[in-house]
Amino acid sequence: QTPSGTAPVIAANGSALQGVTSKPSKMTHPSQFTFEKELGSGSWSTVMEATHVATGKPYAVKILSKAQLIKLKKVKYATAEKDALVKLSGTHPGIVRMHAAFQDDTSLYFVLDLAPHGDLADLVKKHGSLSLRCARWYTAQIVDAVLWVHRMGMVHRDLKPENMLLDSELRIKLTDFGSVYVSPDGDLSPRASTFVGSAAYVSPELLNRASKTTSSSSDIWAIGCSTYFMIAGTPAFAAINDYQSFRKIEALDYTFPEGFYDIAKDFVQKLVVLDPADRLGVEPKSSPSELRGHQLFTGLAYSTTPEESDGTPV
State the nearest-atom distance from the C-beta of 74 to ligand ATP, in Å: 10
**CA max distance for the chain:** 59
Select the residue interacting with ligand ATP from 20, 79, 119, 215 (CB under 6 A): 119
Amino acid at 222: A
Q: Which letter does DSSP use for residue 2 in this model?
A: P
Q: Which residues contact 118 (CB under 8 A, 6 or more apart)?
A: 39, 165, 166
**What track of x and - describes contact with ligand ATP for positions 59 through 78 (by CB under 6 A)?**
-x-x----------------
Select the residue interacting with ligand ATP from 96, 124, 155, 249 (CB under 6 A): 96
Cα of first residue to Cα of last residue in the chain, in angstroms, is 52
Using CB under 6 A as the binding rule, whether residue 205 contacts ligand ATP is answered as: no
Amino acid at 214: T
**What track of x and - describes contact with ligand ATP for positions 10 through 29 (by CB under 6 A)?**
--------------------
* Segment 143 to 182, residues that bind ligand ATP, using CB under 6 A: 162-163, 165, 175-176, 178
The DSSP result for 190-253, as a single string, is -EE----S-GGG--GGGT-TTT-EE-HHHHHHHHHHHHHHHHHSS-TT--SSHHHHHHHHHTT-
Using CB under 6 A as the binding rule, whether residue 223 contacts ligand ATP is answered as: no
Known catalytic residue at 158 = yes
Using CB under 6 A as the binding rule, whether residue 40 contacts ligand ATP is answered as: yes
| Residue closer to ligand ATP (CB basis): 230 or 264 | 230
| Residue closer to ligand ATP (CB basis): 41 or 189 | 41
124, 230 contact by CB (below 8 A): yes
Rounded CA separation 91/196 (Å): 25
Kindly calculate the radius of gyration of the chain based on its CA atoms and give it in whole angstroms. 19
Select the residue interacting with ligand ATP from 42, 153, 233, 306 (CB under 6 A): 42
**Active-site position among 119, 158, 176, 219:** 158
Using CB under 6 A as the binding rule, whether residue 226 contacts ligand ATP is answered as: no
Within 10 angstroms of residue 11's Cβ, the number of other Cβ atoms is 12
Size of the site for ligand ATP (CB under 6 A): 21
Using CB under 6 A as the binding rule, whether residue 98 contacts ligand ATP is answered as: no
